[in-house]
Structure 1
Amino acid sequence: MLELNKVYQGDCLKLIEEIDSESVDLIVCDGPYGVTTNEWDKVIDIQTYNLNLIKIFSRVLKPGGALYLFGKDDCIDFIDYRPFLRLNRKIIWYQPSRLAQGRLNYTNNYDLIAYFSKGKAKTFNLDDIRVPQLVELEHRLRCEKVPSVINGQYGKTKFNDEGKNPGDVWGDIKQLTYKSKELISRDLLNTIQKPEKLIERIVKASSNPGDIVLDPFSGVGTTFAVCKKLNRNFIGFEINPDYIQITNERIRKIELEREYSLF
């Protein structure tokens, strides 16, 4: 087993062979989408590529462990992932304010996050990821008293003052912009770096403190930063040494801020 809380330089398809079978609780995979001209994004067939990833990830995931696979709308079309993992939900990360506007087709305003588990998911911490209720309490209470609701499948579901399930369309977490304080470099905008709030929701929902989280395309370490703040263990793979240096500096800053807060 590789040492925890470290980013390893190299090809994830080779490095993952050094991880013990059924040892990882959560995988956050924001890898190639197969849609840009970036060298790291050039794959011949994204569906075949992702099916291979799913197969490899299924070996290292613990029973009940989760995989969140990022991509575009067709990233898992035309492949049979069922022998390896169970697809629980396709999450839409909705971004209506994207600058690119199609002239010959409808503009793509979302990314897909495919939420898999190895068998039935063992962890789903709903109370840690609740979002504000959008329905007025009076209206919600009135609806709950309808006979078909009371006697139906979801009759025990009640209004929760702490918030509701975020659902499978996430429009409340915005992409990073040039003005975002956490943006490390403009070159990373909308390709490499995802907002911490997005990764935080995933990590909180599908892992617990002390669990092991794997990010096979670590980039500039957003998953690592989130795990550090939430007391999860982490293993990362990244082929770009400059990104690894950025990650290490980012983590060191978090550690210093934590040490400073103790005084």
Structure 2
Amino acid sequence: MLLQNIIHCGNAFDLFKKVEDESVVLIVCDSPYGVTKNDWDRILSIQDFNLDLIRCFTPKLKDGGALYLFGKPDCLDFIDYRPFLNLRSRIVCYQPSRLAQGRLNYTNNYDVIHYFIKGKRPKSYNLDAIHVAQLVKIEHRRRCENVPSVRHGQYSRTKFNEDGKNPGDVWGDIKQLTYQSKELVSREALNTIQKPEKLIERIILASSDPGDLVLDPFAGVGTCPVVCKRHGRNFIAFEMKAEFVSIAEERLASLDTGQQILGFSYGT
């Protein structure tokens, strides 16, 4: 069993073998997308690559454990993942500030996060921890609840919650990172590697509980481990690039001192 709460420098497919079976509650997989010219992103078939990942992940998850697999809209096309995990949702991560690069087609303004579970029922789904603001006025919603077809129909248990609503499967409320983001620690990580902490936080709060073990097989600059540590989750993380491991370790250490790693101190 690999040591917990540290970032292991190495190849994920080699390190998977050292993770104990049925020990992980949540896997947050921001793996290569196969769409850039970066060496680490050159993949012959992203579909075959992701199916190999799913095969590796399945025995490591506890029953009811969750996998959140990041990618482009076609990253699971024409592969059969059903013998391994159950796909619960395709979450659209809307990024409207992307440059309008399309000249002969519509610009791609979203990525997809595929939410899988092992088995039929999630081990954890903490909706109260991830509520977002209601988009309708309370008075209007309460009037709707009093309509007879709602009050006595199949949606009779759907009530207005003053703490907020379910975030749904289109996430447009989390601002993507830019060169001006205080959270960004490396220009090299922008858009391809570093995700917003709020995005990872929503996943971790929803699909794990304090003390659970979270696996991050492509840790990059350590956002998932940082969020895990902040919220009392244990983690095992892998990253091939030693420079990124150093950045991630400093981010983790900064939580103990109360200092935030800002700006472009690292990378190019």
Normalising by structure 1, we get a TM-score of 0.96
The residue aligned with 2:138 is 137
CA distance in 1, matches of 2:29, 2:151: 40
The residue aligned with 2:38 is 38
Q: CA deviation at 1:154?
A: 2.0
The residue type paired with residue 187 of structure 1 is E
Aligned residues: 258
CA distance in 2, matches of 1:34, 1:252: 32
CA distance in 2, matches of 1:153, 1:245: 53
The residue aligned with 1:67 is 67
CA distance in 2, matches of 1:147, 1:76: 42
Matched, 1:201 2:197: no
CA distance in 2, matches of 1:207, 1:63: 13
Aligned positions of 1:48-127 closer than 5 A? 48-119=48-119, 120-127=121-128
The residue aligned with 2:243 is 242
The residue aligned with 1:261 is none
Q: CA deviation at 1:134?
A: 0.3
Q: CA deviation at 1:150?
A: 1.9
Deviates more, 1:217-226 or 1:248-257: 248-257
The residue aligned with 1:155 is 156
CA distance in 2, matches of 1:153, 1:123: 25
Q: CA deviation at 1:140?
A: 0.6
Residues 85-142 of structure 1, C-alpha deviation per residue, up to 9 Å, x if partnerless? 0000000000111114200100000000000000121100000000000011111111
Deviates more, 1:195-204 or 1:73-82: 73-82
CA distance in 2, matches of 1:152, 1:47: 42
Consecutive unaligned residues in structure 1, runs of 5 or more = 259-263
Q: CA deviation at 1:257?
A: 1.5
The residue aligned with 1:6 is 6
Normalising by structure 2, we get a TM-score of 0.95
The secondary structure found in structure 1 opposite 2:258 is: helix
Alignment RMSD? 0.9
The secondary structure found in structure 2 opposite 1:81 is: coil
The residue aligned with 1:19 is 19
CA distance in 2, matches of 1:127, 1:117: 19
The residue type paired with residue 230 of structure 2 is K
The secondary structure found in structure 2 opposite 1:132 is: coil
CA distance in 2, matches of 1:35, 1:200: 26
CA distance in 2, matches of 1:72, 1:145: 42
The secondary structure found in structure 2 opposite 1:254 is: helix
CA distance in 1, matches of 2:16, 2:49: 15
Deviates more, 1:63-72 or 1:146-155: 146-155
Q: CA deviation at 1:255?
A: 1.1
The residue type paired with residue 153 of structure 2 is G
Consecutive unaligned residues in structure 2, runs of 5 or more = 260-268
CA distance in 2, matches of 1:103, 1:42: 25
**Identity of paired residues, percent?**
64
- Detail structure 1 runs of 4+ shifted over 4 Å in the superposition: none
Residues 166-202 of structure 1, C-alpha deviation per residue, up to 9 Å, x if partnerless? 0000000011011100100112110110000000000
The residue aligned with 1:212 is 213
CA distance in 2, matches of 1:209, 1:200: 13
The residue type paired with residue 32 of structure 1 is P
